[in-house]
Amino acid sequence: MATLETLNFDNSYTRLPEHFYQRVNPVPLKQPFLIALNSDIARLLDLDPASLNPYDLAQCFSGNRLLPGSEPVAMKYTGHQFGVYNPDLGDGRGLLLGEVVNRDNQRWDLHLKGSGKTVYSRFADGRAVLRSSIREYLASVAMQGLGIPTTQALALIGSEELAMRDGMMEPCAALLRVTQSHIRFGHFEHFYYSKQHDDLKRLADYCLVRYFPQFLNAGQPYLCMYREVVTRSAELVAKWQAYGFVHGVLNTDNMSIIGETFDYGPYSFMDQYKPNMVSNQNDHRGRYAFNKQPDMVHWNLSALGQALSSLVDQDELLAELNRFPDLYQSFEIAEFRKRLGLQSELSEDSALVAQLLKMFSNQALDMNRFFRALSEFDYQEGESDKLEDLVSNKTELKNWLSAYKKRLEKEVASYPIRSAQMKSVNPEYILRNYMAQEAINLAADGDFSLIEELIELLRNPGIKNNKMHHYAASPPSWAGSICLTCSS
Ligand code: AMP
Ligand code: MG
């Protein structure tokens, strides 16, 4: 096992030309303290969680002490924000501390979010506040627990330092983000729009070696890479749609090249299914509404395709991009088949799902509670009380259930087998905004206990937790009044 001092750093990104980034040390955070440590992620880095002490963790992951082997850099990228190209982006409040290669030869980026100003900070302070850092920490675990690709977080560090947000002073925090890639679509856009085509090729080669080595010897490696990014992104957004997840800020600088959910800001899991739900109050035109996410990911992929057009023939890129709508649909139906317990693939399934989503929308249902209850619906017994309790229009439910029953008759699996399979994908608990808000409210009074408890709950969201079972119930009425913005 490694210690913080002997982490196996090997920083491939810093071997790229110096203008790919700015070398800069973190600005120390005042009186840092450890709030939470994710043991699973510690082990991923070959760290023994039991050997780590809170003081050292707080020093190292607040940027106050540099780890041996770490070479902090702020990455340069640009991107389209709300559809408008912004050439001035880059890591304005985060630093890539370096890459750790573990015993299984996996390479993990360690990125410190909230690490102080860089040349890309523009007018802002380089910090992250506690509220948004708690939300990102919880979301990483919740998404992982649902099997949705996501960045991870090793540690959450609190501080006595304050920052101004929306006219109020708030405590600062730092989050140590861990993932195999911090390369965003916007990294490619930077080199494309600044006409640095050799560097664009360098970046693409870097990605091929590190993330897509299977294409290195292909006839057209860059095209294969793009094809893979299109596929992964389609699968990712299909999962978001299947679980009612609204990202909130789907700008191209928040799109990961390896297809993970990246950069948690004003996200939500919908308590009530409202297709045009906008999670970010600053998104006045609803560009990133729930039902627009597939189109927005498609749009972002077209921006990436444009950026790759000096490397690959544009018509060939376009042909790959045009696969997106069908790909998305096939991933989406696959997700819903799992949630409905359907093993066989019949063409009629699309209509069944469409009818279900229409009912969710007509009655603003809680889709995640519905699917959990449906996992315990034995159609041969005909008991649908639990489902009826969740809806307001019982006739609409009965109509849908009769179509669902007919469909289930074509399945071979027996009820117990189907129910177990459904429960494995239909969680008892989902990270609702009010749960994160409760943890944030307690944290404001210095009580961080709920963060760890929620992490335990969300790591295995399908397993009943007697102590925390109230989180399986309907959210409290104040949940609807939570207001989320870009401010973080
Ligand atoms: P985000 O909205 O978090 O995706 O950030 C968009 C851009 O603004 C990125 O380039 C960030 O680095 C930068 N940014 C966001 N908040 C801050 C901050 N407090 N200080 C400096 N840069 C920031
Ligand atoms: Mg971002």
Query: Is residue 428 over pLDDT 90?
Result: yes
Residue type, 127: R
pLDDT 10s digits, 278-294: 999 999 999 999 999 99
- Give the Å distance between the CA of 113 and the centre of ligand 2: 11
Q: Whose CA is nearest to atom 5 of ligand 1?
A: 92
Which atom belonging to ligand 1 lies closest to the Cα atom of 117? 21
Q: Would you state the pLDDT for residue 450?
A: 98
State the chain's mean pLDDT as an integer. Answer: 98
Residue 420: pLDDT band with limits 50, 70, 90: very high
Q: Which residues line ligand 1 (CB under 6 A)?
A: 89-93, 120-121, 124-127, 249, 254, 263, 265, 486
pLDDT 10s digits, 73-107: 999 999 999 999 999 999 999 999 999 999 999 99
- Which of 93, 164, 182, 256 should be mutated for ligand 1, with most atoms under 8 A from CB? 93
Residues in the chain: 488
Residue type, 406: K
Q: Whose CA is nearest to atom 8 of ligand 1?
A: 92
Which atom belonging to ligand 1 lies closest to the Cα atom of 126? 20
- Which of 73, 84, 121 should be mutated for ligand 1, with most atoms under 8 A from CB? 121
Q: Which residues contact 249 (CB under 8 A, 6 or more apart)?
A: 263, 265, 266, 280, 283, 288, 486
Q: Report pTM.
A: 0.98
Q: Would you state the pLDDT for residue 12?
A: 98
Provide the annotated active-site residues: 253
pLDDT 10s digits, 212-270: 999 999 999 999 999 999 999 999 999 999 999 999 999 999 999 999 999 999 999 99
Q: Would you state the pLDDT for residue 448?
A: 98
Q: Whose CA is nearest to atom 20 of ligand 1?
A: 126
Query: Is residue 382 over pLDDT 90?
Result: no
Mean pLDDT throughout 147-151?
Answer: 98
